Amino acid sequence: MSANVNYLIKGGKVLAPDGTRSCDVLTNGGTIEAIGENLNTGGAEIIDASGLWVIPGLVDIHCHLREPGFEYKEDIASGSAAAAKGGFTTICCMANTDPVNDNAVVTEFIKRKGISAGFAHVLPIAALTKGLAGEELTEVGNLAEAGAVALSDDGKSVKSAQRMRLALSYAKRFGLKVISHPEDLDLVNGGVMNEGYWSTALGLPGTTRAAEETIIARDCMLAATENTTIHIAHVSTAGGADIIREAKKRGVKVTCETAPHYIYATDELVKEYDSNTRVNPPLRAEADRAALIEALRDGTIDCIATDHAPHHIDDKNVEYSIAASGISGFDTAFAMCWTALVKPGHLTPEDLFRKMTSSPSEVLGLDAGRLETGRAADIAIIDPNAEWTVDPSKFASRGKNTPFAGHALTGLVRCTICGGKIVYGG
């Protein structure tokens, strides 16, 4: 990590709130001092951004950093270093650690470790129920005071509709958003991949889309009943997107995300039985992928989140049916989105950047994701034309679990600045 010096980022295509323009960006300490043409260096170190995009640091509101308890998979330092390599300067980590982040002590521990690592702003998402058991609600006031930015039992769905309703009402009093993990385990019924052609062809038990869609519908109705907000995690089906689209039309205060792997890949990828393709919810069919892209285009899906889920090789080097679910995503997230969304013309570069910066920030009410004077100098410098091949051995994350090894991607993060410091590249 570099010393905290001033930088003049020259000649890049800058994504600022007032529009895109070719100009310079000057940082001073930890803030952005000026954005404009032909800025005076004033002794600042020059970064040549000719031909590159200069954008706000990416914001991820759904990742798993594994610490405390599962440091053999990832720790906060390695995870946030991977985030920095991927262009992320603000990351929100889920509560399924050991011990679970269901109390102020663990929340404060995660914040301290993030500050100590220094690669990104690490913001804890605390558990909605104690021990992620879906029964007793956590002490939301204490968690909010300790620094939790949202509440979620991600990894598990709150089975009781009444418990979820009470949670929404309780969280509303403290200004925290509830993030729903939409999965009816009774309907999952042991499924390990998407129910459809490929599950039949491969002889693997499938998971019906209804397992996701029934909980999305339920939680939208509960949010409407309580007149409060809810955020739906990792939407993966066409039906789920349709339910959210209609709920928004009715005025329900619902936001949602999808993840890069759902807009880049389909369940056909499972055909080699590579356990790295096992993810929850599972990779879906091409019709679902196309529907998610359209939902990003029309604003139904508010943002893109990585669902970065690193695992040790031993968790994946087993039979498909018992392999851990999850993809290590920080290192590849941006390039997968650029390749699947911008390169084919589905989204403009500006649209994609907003889905990964200001939009996720707005979902959780964070002070991040905008490039303007007076704000924190959290910046990513992007090469839109760089072509590269995914090599997990070069991941900054401890988790090398990706099904995309050998895939050719376009779009590369050249430099990440967090709080005025170069934390990657330079």
**DSSP conformation letters of 105-172:** HHHHHHHHHHHHH-SSEEEEEEPSBGGG-SSSBP-HHHHHHHT--EEE-TTS----HHHHHHHHHHHH
Please state, in angstroms and rounded to a whole number, the distance separating the CA atoms of residues 51 and 44.
21
Q: Tell me how far apart the alpha carbons of residues 57 and 356 are, in angstroms, rounded to a whole number.
A: 9
Extract the tokens encoding 200: 């039949």
Q: Residues 75, 307, 315, 378: which is the catalytic one?
A: 307
- Round to the nearest angstrom and report the end-to-end CA distance of the chain: 10
Burial call 172-204: b when 16+ CB within 10 Å, e when fewer? beeebbbbbbbbbeebbeebbbbbbebbeebeb
Residue 404 to residue 389: CA distance in whole angstroms: 9
Q: What distance in Å separates the CA atoms of residue 251 and residue 105, rounded to the nearest whole number?
A: 37
C-alpha distances in Å from residue 413, one per residue of 57, 150, 313, 416: 10, 28, 26, 7
Which of 244, 247, 245, 277 minimizes the C-alpha distance to 262?
277
Backbone angles phi, psi at 173, to 5 degrees: -65, -25
Kind of pairing between the strands at 19-28 and 7-16: antiparallel
Contacts (Cβ under 8 Å, ≥6 apart) of 167: 128, 129, 137, 151, 158, 178
Active site residue 24: no
Helices 286-298 and 238-249: crossing angle in degrees, nearest 10, is 30
Quick one: angle between helices 104-117 and 76-85, nearest 10?
50
Distance (Å, whole) CA 212 – CA 233: 10
- List, by residue number, the catalytic residues: 307
